[in-house]
């Protein structure tokens, strides 16, 4: 038993050394990264924006998903959260609980996917933890980002009369596997913030028909969406009726596009000259009355919450 524990410990240390050696660059803000009991971060003159996401086998990916794509998604969903606040990504901390049957090769493949997207977005892996158990693969990522003081874009600033925009197109992400390969809109968010005053913004992780309500509740406003203007991704089955395709765009989730609100003047400016390559689509307007509506042809109806939500047992 003692020899087995020693062997497992050596394997963990070997993995940590391997991870540390894979990084090609280290951000200056990471004063101390992998190798000590804790990391040291420093960024005078900036504020830290911190997000954490957990992804789990059977919920966010399947047992058949390639390890590289799992690692990529684990960090990408956090990058999307920072994009929603127009923050610059900096340092990530990775916690992984591995199935005992997971081999070293699979772990390295997982980290290759994670390190590749970290390099793409100039993120330093500054620490974390690795464990194993008899259950499925679980990955938790905590990502630190930077913004100038009081400049983070939040969900609570939408104003009546604002135009509502989304980046890209929506729907069909999970069935098409796009949820594993999406590009976090970090660069787009920063470019948009430099171009116009964004009143409120979030990323569409659970679906437009769910996430919109978070922004409306935080801002204490309502919205009316134009069904015909909602950009439907080509991944949504073409043979479906128009109404069914709109329902997929509202409720499928895992799009990781940005939804944001700007004044009509700023909206017109974006329509005339967009600072980003991805499409920007006006899908509706913010209203004073705190209700969400969908205009479908000549009919205005209440927008029903849709999209993904985690199920929890009731607590007595």
As a dihedral over the C-alpha atoms of residue 230, residue 236, residue 242, residue 243, rounded to 10 degrees, the angle is -80
Query: What are the tokens at 208?
Result: 């437009």
pLDDT of residue 257: 98
pLDDT of residue 1: 38
CATH class of the 163-302 domain in this structure = alpha beta
C-alpha count within 13 angstroms, C-beta hemisphere, residue 308: 16
Question: Which residue is it, tokens 């158990």?
Answer: 133
**C-alpha triplet 154, 56, 310: angle, nearest 5°:** 60
Q: Where are the domains of the chain?
A: 2-147, 163-302
The reply to whether 2-147 and 163-302 are identical in fold is: no
What CATH architecture applies to the domain 2-147?
2-Layer Sandwich (3.30)
pLDDT of residue 152: 97
pLDDT, block means (10 residues), the chain with 316 residues: 43 72 80 89 97 93 94 98 98 94 90 95 93 93 97 97 98 94 98 98 96 97 97 95 95 96 98 97 96 92 73 42
Rounded Cα distance, 5 and 11, in Å: 10
Cβ-contact 140, 95 below 8 angstroms: yes
């Amino acid at each position: 038993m003692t020899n087995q524990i020693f062997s497992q410990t050596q394997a963990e240390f070997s993995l940590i050394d391997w991870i540390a050696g894979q990084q090609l660059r280290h951000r200056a803000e990471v004063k101390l990264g992998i190798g000590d009991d804790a990391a040291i971060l420093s960024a005078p003159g900036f504020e830290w924006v911190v997000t954490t996401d957990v992804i789990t086998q059977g919920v966010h990916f399947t047992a058949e998903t390639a390890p590289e794509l799992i690692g990529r998604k684990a960090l990408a969903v956090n990058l999307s959260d920072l994009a929603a606040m127009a923050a610059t990504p900096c340092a990530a901390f990775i916690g992984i609980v591995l199935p005992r049957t997971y081999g070293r090769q699979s772990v390295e493949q997982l980290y290759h996917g994670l390190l590749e997207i970290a390099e793409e977005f100039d993120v330093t892996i500054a620490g974390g933890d690795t464990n194993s158990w008899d259950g499925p693969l679980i990955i938790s990522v905590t990502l630190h980002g930077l913004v100038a003081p009081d400049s983070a874009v939040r969900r609570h600033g939408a104003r009546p009369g604002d135009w509502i925009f989304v980046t890209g197109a929506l729907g069909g992400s999970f069935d098409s596997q796009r949820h594993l390969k999406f590009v976090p809109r970090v660069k787009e968010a920063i470019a948009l913030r430099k171009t116009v005053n964004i009143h409120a913004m979030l990323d569409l992780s659970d679906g437009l028909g769910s996430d919109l309500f978070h922004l409306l509740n935080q801002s204490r406003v309502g919205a009316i969406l134009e069904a015909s203007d909602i950009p439907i991704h080509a991944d949504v089955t073409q043979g479906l009726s128009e109404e069914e395709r709109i329902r997929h765009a509202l409720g499928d989730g895992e799009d990781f596009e940005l939804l944001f609100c700007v004044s009509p003047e700023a909206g017109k400016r974006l329509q005339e000259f967009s600072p980003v390559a991805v499409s920007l689509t006006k899908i509706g307007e913010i209203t004073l009355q705190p209700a969400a509506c969908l205009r479908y042809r000549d009919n205005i109806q209440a927008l029903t919450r849709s999209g993904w939500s985690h199920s929890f047992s009731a607590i007595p």
